[in-house]
Structure 1
Amino acid sequence: MVPWKWATMLETARNTRTDSRRDLVTELLGLWLVLAVFLDGWAHINLPSLETFFTPWHAALYSGMLATAAWTAAVIWRNRTPGQPLLQAIPPGYRGTAAGVILFGTAGGLDLLWHELLGIEVSLDALVSPTHLLLGFSQFLILGTAVRSARAAGKSGGLKHAGNQGLTPAAIFAVVLMTGLGAFFLVYCSAFVRPGPTAVFVPAPVGTPGRIQSELPVVITLASYFLTTALIIAPFLFTLSAARRPARGIITLLVVAAAWLPVVMVGLHPYSISGAAGATIAAVVADILLTRIPDSWLARRLPAVTAGIAALLWTGQLVAFAVTDAIRWPVSLWLGAVVLSAAVAAGLALLSSWAPGRSAPSAAGTAVGRS
């Protein structure tokens, strides 16, 4: 091979390693932010007397953001050549990061003003407060850095990933962190923090007084199963859109983010611990089974694969409930929740792989096989 081509390949490999390390540092700072968010949530749930903006929990979050801002500035400055405008010096994938840092600072100021004028949120309103949602959106922008970097590198053709063919380890980590942050903002409808099928439910005929009130907890739990299924399966499908094979351990990582972070935040109730443990064990089994599925079969049967994953996860949770406590729902209800959750997972796979003018199996193969 011509010497200059060797030099180009070596330079590309060196830049790839440097970019991967840089993205990993960014995502580790993102982990700081996510843990600080859950810590602040824990404080609001377990210390209801909080009446000020200036708390240790907010300090953990805002110090993490200051560290992220400093790191982002350093990344941009180190990437700058003499005389180059700063905007042109921003590496691929980091424009969203810089926007997230700026948005967080703006939203933080608005949040301080909001609390001074309207007080501290003490319940569900804390998760849907406009300023808190802005803070959350800014963090999603920051956490998505490694994914955007991997996409930019893939488009340029200068990055090859032997293990996952499209997403770096930092990008996989980013997807898991974003799943965790999503679990925080959707904790009020998480299937991992509710008693679920362990709660007593006596079906009442239509027209019975109090029927709607008695069914409401079950309705909310059923909706929680569907939404939590989507929270786990959608990121899994996203990782498949850039790889021929699922990343090793991806289901377990997503379940840990979607289950254990909320479970710890709400106070480690026995039923939530057992349910999360059962789902985690099932996730490990799912990851092992995924390594044994042939590429061609995975491509053609993606909806069946995601349906099987969802059914396995919630079956694991139900088994844990039965072993540690009891399942008090009628069999038609808890089994129906598993079947409907599997249907949600299959539907998401169909939507992610559908393309006009193609059959579903062919389109699924295209989505999974895209590198």
Structure 2
Amino acid sequence: MMLDAAETPVINGRRDLITELFGVWLVLAVFLDGWAHLNLPSLETFFTPWHAALYSGMVATGLWTASVIWRNRKPGQPLSQALPPGYRGTVVGLVLFAVAGGLDLLWHELLGIEVTLDALVSPTHLLLGFSLFLILGTAVRSARTGRRARDFEWTPAALFAVVLMTGLGAFFLIYCSAFVRPGPTALFIPMPVGTPGRLQAEMPVVIGLTSYLLTTALILAPFLFTLSAARRPARGIVTMLVAAAAWLPVAMVGFRPVAAAGAAGATAAAILADVLLARLPQDWLDRRLPAVAAGIAALVWTGQLAAFAVADGIRWPVSLWLGAVVLSAAVAAGLALLSSWGANAGTRYAGALG
């Protein structure tokens, strides 16, 4: 049953914001540990300063969560009933992280330490990542609990949570990030079918194009999620999402100059996108959201490519780099259409499709 406005739980914005600040600790520790796996191939033990940063952050988060539950408890009330809105998933995440941490220790003792790409797809690391998503999503669950869609307003903590989850997603997808793979700056000479070495020459381009599509989804999916329960985009949301998806991975691989230039260009374009969104008529958001999403994607990647051109030069043929922008815009438009699909979708987006 949907709760009436008077019955809606009171959202403690300060409490949730503190919880998400602990999330910053966790996300930064994850990227620090990732940096160690990428740059220290001689790493041969589970007990490292980077793991200490991560697990101490989890202990601190657990203690804070316990204090939140205890303060929320009424006299005589079981602890299981004292969980504030949104914090049940947090507790599940903490327990799951402890289990995954033990399994990760056992994994390393039996099979050794992962070096680079295998560290990102290790089952125990993926389980740790899932538990972190549950913890980082606390403020989103808290803000949405018991609220009608038309009454919902994004709290600063909830928006911060979405940005942190985007950053964590960027960590696990760093091997196919368009921000750490500046593909358009690499020379590519098209070869006819059947030419020896053609597949090997095309593989970096295939990976580069795929990276653009996946990174577009990483940025636009949370943007559309925040818009699904609000009439207007949150101020600065595109810039925050692009910054999380770009700068954290770029820092993890060591601030390579060309990659950093591309991240700066994309961030500048994202700022422009936010300025334009603030001036956009509501009718465009209501009826032409796919076009808006496509425009955001096109603007962000055009900014990145412009920065590449200045910092190092673009060596892909125009058909490739322009095609990457167009394909990314198409992915963004498709996500926007799917995110708003419903009983009235055919009517609502008739203009966008026509």
Q: Which amino acid aligns with 2:50?
A: W
The unaligned stretches of length 5 or more in structure 1 are 1-7, 366-371
Instruction: Find 2:173's aligned residue among 186, 190, 197.
Output: 186
Residue aligned with 1:359, SS: helix
Q: Which amino acid aligns with 1:76?
A: I
Residue aligned with 1:259, SS: helix
The unaligned stretches of length 5 or more in structure 2 are none
> How many pairs were matched up?
348
State the match for 1:41 in structure 2.
34
Residue aligned with 1:84, SS: coil
Shift of residue 270, structure 1, vs aligned partner:
1.2
State the match for 1:90 in structure 2.
83
Q: Which amino acid aligns with 1:187?
A: I
- Given that 1:197 and 1:328 are in contact with CA atoms closer than 8 Å, whether structure 2 keeps it comes out as yes
In structure 2, how many angstroms separate the alpha carbons of the residues matched to 1:105 and 1:280? 36
State the match for 1:67 in structure 2.
60
Instruction: Find 1:266's aligned residue among 225, 229, 253.
Output: 253
Per-residue CA distance 1:134-163 (angstroms, 9 max, x = gap): 000000000000000011152599xx6xxx
Instruction: Find 2:326's aligned residue among 339, 343, 356.
Output: 339
Instruction: Find 1:27's aligned residue among 12, 16, 20.
Output: 20
What is the RMSD of the two structures over their aligned residues, measured on CA atoms? 2.0
Residue aligned with 2:229, SS: coil
Q: Which amino acid aligns with 2:165?
A: M
TM-score by length of 2: 0.95
In structure 1, how many angstroms separate the alpha carbons of the residues matched to 2:83 and 2:255? 42
Asked if 1:53 corresponds to 2:40, the answer is no
In structure 2, how many angstroms separate the alpha carbons of the residues matched to 1:128 and 1:93? 28
1:292-303 equivalences under 5 Å are 292-303=279-290
Asked if 1:195 corresponds to 2:182, the answer is yes
Residue aligned with 2:147, SS: helix
Asked if 1:225 corresponds to 2:212, the answer is yes
- Given that 1:354 and 1:363 are in contact with CA atoms closer than 8 Å, whether structure 2 keeps it comes out as no
In structure 1, how many angstroms separate the alpha carbons of the residues matched to 2:318 and 2:283? 36
- Given that 1:353 and 1:363 are in contact with CA atoms closer than 8 Å, whether structure 2 keeps it comes out as no
State the match for 2:124 in structure 1.
131
Asked if 1:326 corresponds to 2:319, the answer is no
Residue aligned with 1:54, SS: coil
Shift of residue 297, structure 1, vs aligned partner:
1.9
- Given that 2:140 and 2:162 are in contact with CA atoms closer than 8 Å, whether structure 1 keeps it comes out as yes
1:145-156 equivalences under 5 Å are 145-155=138-148
Instruction: Find 2:158's aligned residue among 171, 174, 178.
Output: 171
Asked if 1:307 corresponds to 2:300, the answer is no
Asked if 1:251 corresponds to 2:244, the answer is no
- Given that 1:33 and 1:64 are in contact with CA atoms closer than 8 Å, whether structure 2 keeps it comes out as yes
- The percent identity for this pair of structures is 76
Q: Which amino acid aligns with 1:239?
A: T
